[in-house]
Chain A
Amino acid sequence: MQLVIASGKGGVGKSTVTASLLYLLKDEYRFVAVDADADAPNLDLLLGVEHWEEERELVGAKVARINTESCIRCGICQERCPYDCIKVIDGDYVVSELTCEGCNVCGLVCPVPGTITLEEVRSGVVRKTTTRYGFPLISAQLDVGRPNSGKLVTEEKEWAKKLMGELGLKHMVVDSAAGIGCQVIASIGGADLTILVAEPTPASLSDVQRAYKVVQHFRQPAYLIINKADFNPGFMALREWAEAEGIPILGEIPYDRAIPRSMSMLKPFVEAFPDSKAADAMREIAERVREEILR
């Protein structure tokens, strides 16, 4: 089974919840964890990963380059670039490597053959390790300024699938990126269900509603975990929304200083502070995941 943890936005505790859930399930279930947030991968940090057993470079990204020798400075490339990535610097037309999407429109409209070429560049790395808890983790790190590609996530999931075959693993748990863009779509697409994490604030509600639309797009069941549940008493809209949509609430985790403290210790909070009230709530959630999802 492939399950995804998503939130629509960063900072609501998605990776924190994921790390603790993995920790609580590790003895009973055989799974591979995938950190699909290549832009800001954090699951490895929360699981105390210190080294990678294997790394693969990804050269998927493409950027356009303009040869200033043959360029006749007609400006058509700049005019046609859909994303305004071509600037004139000291009289030369230059493609901004940090914003180019690699669509090659400039190359196609350029009247001088061979002046604009599309070059493959490194977009990041995909890597694998075995965590100290015994289960493998696949993670990726996008290079600074590269297009945030769903292909990277697909690559990670392919590797994870291969590991499942080799190691006889039953489940894949994907910690999705923030937002609703291509990485999130690649994370949710092909999964069996999504667990949404949100906090009771208008911003988080708005973000999770958007993530839920992506889940619906793939016709998947969704569940909700409410983090920092007591942080905004009186804000009922999140719970009301879940109820109206028929999204089961797996549990509510109270705001607890044990969580940020455990993050500084680079440990899942259920391991670092097993007696905290947040850990109690998390164990209840893991119990429901066992009963309702993994059965």
Chain B
Amino acid sequence: MQIAVSGGKGGTGKSTIAINLAIALREHYDLVLADLDVEAPNDHLLLGVELANEEPVELFMPRFDYQKCTRCRKCAEVCEEHAIITMRDGTPFLMPNLCSGCAACEIVCPVPGAILPGKKLMGHTYLTETPYGFPLVTGRLLEGEERAMPIVSRAKKRAQGLEKELLMVDTAAGTSNTVSKALEDSRLIIAVTEPTPLGIHDGELILKLAKLMEVPAMVVVNRSDLGDVAKVREIAEKYGAEVIAEIPYSENIIRSYVEGKPIVLTDYPEAGLFREIASRVVEFLGGGE
């Protein structure tokens, strides 16, 4: 079973909430946390661990055997990304940065062996043990590479492969298709938002996506004293989601972050808020007893 922590806007505290919730949920489930914000993965930093067990994510990239190539241009015609250009005589060239690794060119090439399977490194996935009793899977896109989707997809598979009772996914910001990929198969989405006009605007988008994907959502309002929570409730209601927690702006959360100690494990009063979110999640997943 899978749940996801997501939020429209960057910097709303998704990762902070994800790691604290994971620690709190550890008492109830055997779980794995997957950081699928592959462009800016930070859960390991918040958990104070060094990424380990690196595995490369390589994509297919065509290599042309010019001895065999008949210059038919089919590969260039089929390439949706226009990554293959042809010279006047039809000789194909690849622009590696545009290649999405889909292998369509290889599929249409009429000459066996004219397109050889080269490999391109897109990023890595990691499997890191944490001192909190659950492993962390991280996807990390290589700088300069554009495509986040393969990394999200592979990191998620790696986490699924651990076959834990609960897979908790921390997504990127926004509502693009890589976020959809991360959210896919979730039983529940915890949408993190701020009550500011910007937070509400972006928060509405994630609720819209949850609705499109037919996944129930619960809303956690972070920095709840920075704006008008009533407006968040209004939006949440519109999408059939419930606001389950309000976390005020807190020096303690910053302090715990700076000290590298997750707030849920401290004696600060905010710890209780996270335990409450966890119990709401348990209640929901357990069928609402």
Contacts and interface: CB of A to CB of B under 8 A. Distances in A.
A pairs with B = yes
Interface stretch (A21-29, A163-171, A205-213, A286-294): A205-213
Nearest to B143: A213
Given A83-B181, A105-B107, A210-B143, A179 B153 contact: no
B153 A181 contact: no
Contacts of B39: 8-9, 178-181, 184, 210
A40 interface: yes
A238 to B, nearest CB: 13
Given A102-B80, A178-B39, A180-B40, A10 B149 contact: no
B150 A82 contact: yes
Is chain A's interface secondary structure helix, strand, loop, or mixed overall?
loop
Contacts of B11: 9-12
A185 B104 contact: no
B60 to A, nearest CB: 8
Interface stretch (A67-75, A125-133, A142-150, A243-251): A142-150
B268 to A, nearest CB: 17
Nearest to B16: A203
Given A146-B177, A148-B177, A98 B209 contact: yes
Nearest to A266: B197
A123 to B, nearest CB: 10
Contact of B212 (A144, A178, A210): A144
Given A101-B100, A148-B178, A207-B40, A10 B209 contact: no
Interface string A240-263: 000000000000000000001001
Interface string B133-160: 0000000010110111110010001000
Contacts of B198: 15, 42, 45-46, 263
Contacts of A101: 100, 102, 149, 177
Nearest to A11: B11
B61 interface: no
A182 B102 contact: no
Contacts of B101: 82
Contacts of A108: 78, 104, 107-108
B80 A104 contact: yes
Contacts of A46: 198
A59 interface: no
A217 B144 CA distance: 7
Interface string B58-86: 01100000000000000000101100000
Interface string B102-117: 1110011000000000
Contact of B173 (A10, A82, A96, A263): A10
Given A10-B173, A83-B181, A214-B144, A203 B150 contact: no
B40 A147 contact: no
15 contacts: A9-B10, A10-B10, A39-B175, A83-B181, A98-B209, A99-B180, A100-B177, A103-B80, A103-B104, A108-B78, A148-B177, A179-B40, A263-B197, A264-B196, A264-B228
A-B pairs, 10 with minimum CB distance: A11-B11, A10-B10, A179-B39, A39-B174, A103-B102, A148-B176, A213-B143, A182-B146, A98-B180, A203-B42
Interface of A: 8-12, 15, 39-40, 42, 45-46, 62, 82-84, 96, 98-105, 108-109, 118, 142, 144-148, 150, 178-182, 184-185, 201-203, 206-207, 210, 213-214, 217, 231-232, 235, 260, 263-264, 266
